């Protein structure tokens, strides 16, 4: 893959931070570096940017692609789960003026996943799905270890999959022959009624497995809590979510902070992509940007 992933709602997200040239900002999800580069452009030599990503492949790509600036004294890049943001900020010793999280997978992770099987279209890749390859458990391990009932639960609750029971039952019946992305997607096609094929029928199962492998929802809850805690008074936290499970967590967290008087909701309920952005990037269709200012 030779193109750079352009983040969804890029201008809107950067605008939401109201960036001060000498401020301190954190990009919790570095990806291909789109948000980080736009923040850097607005910072003076006295400003500071901390970029975090769980995926070492993403970090390696950014350091190479942006090598002219990736070693700048005002850009710190670390491999970490953003739930550990407080630890990194303590090491820096100052409160951030703004924090962003983009919870979607980048095009590079989907199309050049380094044999980790994030995309249900990459038939020959293994069922791995780890953002951080130092994690011990892969998606294949989950399929082997979980019972039919447990698989039903995660597909139903983390993928909101209507046919969770049938899929879980078929997986356990054929577990010895499921090793690759293609093995799993073909089985799901076999189980699902054709009427449900308006979109790839594997997408919800893959979402559920990825969420559980990477403990994404618990990481999000901790990341939101720790990010808001370390924000400077008047600082802004902006989050882009892509599916209902994530968005529900973000929305409820922001509402709780607003009702308690700790935060002020910005830009109304949320900002969605324009019709033009949806046309140019169909993956942006479900994106929602929510922002809150710490009071």
Q: In the chain, where are the structural domains located?
A: 10-109+216-294, 136-213
**136-213, superfamily in CATH?**
Putative methyltransferase TM0872, insert domain (1.10.150.170)
Neighbours of 44 (CB within 10 A): 10
pLDDT in tens, 50-98: 999 999 999 999 999 999 888 889 999 999 999 999 999 999 999 999 9
- 152: nearest Cα among 164, 144, 166: 164
On whether the pTM is more than 0.85, the answer is yes
* In contact, 142 and 212? CB cutoff 8 Å: yes
Which fold would CATH assign to domain 10-109+216-294?
A: Rossmann fold (3.40.50)
CA distances from 187 to 45, 77, 138, 143 (A): 55, 40, 19, 13
Mean pLDDT (the chain, rounded): 92
Structure tokens belonging to residue 186: 């073909």
Rounded Cα gap, residues 131 and 35, in angstroms: 19
pLDDT in tens, 188-218: 999 988 655 567 889 999 999 999 999 999 9
């Amino acid at each position: 893959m030779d193109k750079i992933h352009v983040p969804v709602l890029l201008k809107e997200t950067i605008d939401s931070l109201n960036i001060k040239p000498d401020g301190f900002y954190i990009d919790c999800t570095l990806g291909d570096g789109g948000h980080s580069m736009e923040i850097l452009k607005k910072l003076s030599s006295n400003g500071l940017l901390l970029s975090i990503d769980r995926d070492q492949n993403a970090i390696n790509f950014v350091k190479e692609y942006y090598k002219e600036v990736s070693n700048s004294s005002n850009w710190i890049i670390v491999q970490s789960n953003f739930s550990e943001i407080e630890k990194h900020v303590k090491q820096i010793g100052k409160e951030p003026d703004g924090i962003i999280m983009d919870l979607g997978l980048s095009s590079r992770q989907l199309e050049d996943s380094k044999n980790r099987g994030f995309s249900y279209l990459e038939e020959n890749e293994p069922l791995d799905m780890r953002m951080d390859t130092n994690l011990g458990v892969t998606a294949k391990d989950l399929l082997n270890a979980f019972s039919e009932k447990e698989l039903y639960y995660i597909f139903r609750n983390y993928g909101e999959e209507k046919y969770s029971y049938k899929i879980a039952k078929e997986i356990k019946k054929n577990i010895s022959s499921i090793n690759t992305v293609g093995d799993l997607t073909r089985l799901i096609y076999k189980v699902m009624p054709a009427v449900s094929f308006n979109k790839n029928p594997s997408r919800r199962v893959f979402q559920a497995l990825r969420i559980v492998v990477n403990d994404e929802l618990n990481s999000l809850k901790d990341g939101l809590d720790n990010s808001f805690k370390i924000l400077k008074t008047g600082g802004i936290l902006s989050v882009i979510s892509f599916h209902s499970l994530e968005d529900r967590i973000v929305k409820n967290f922001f509402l709780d902070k607003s009702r308690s008087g700790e935060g002020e909701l910005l830009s109304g309920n949320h900002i969605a992509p324009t019709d033009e952005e949806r046309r140019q990037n169909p993956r942006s269709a479900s994106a929602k940007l929510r922002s809150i200012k710490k009071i």
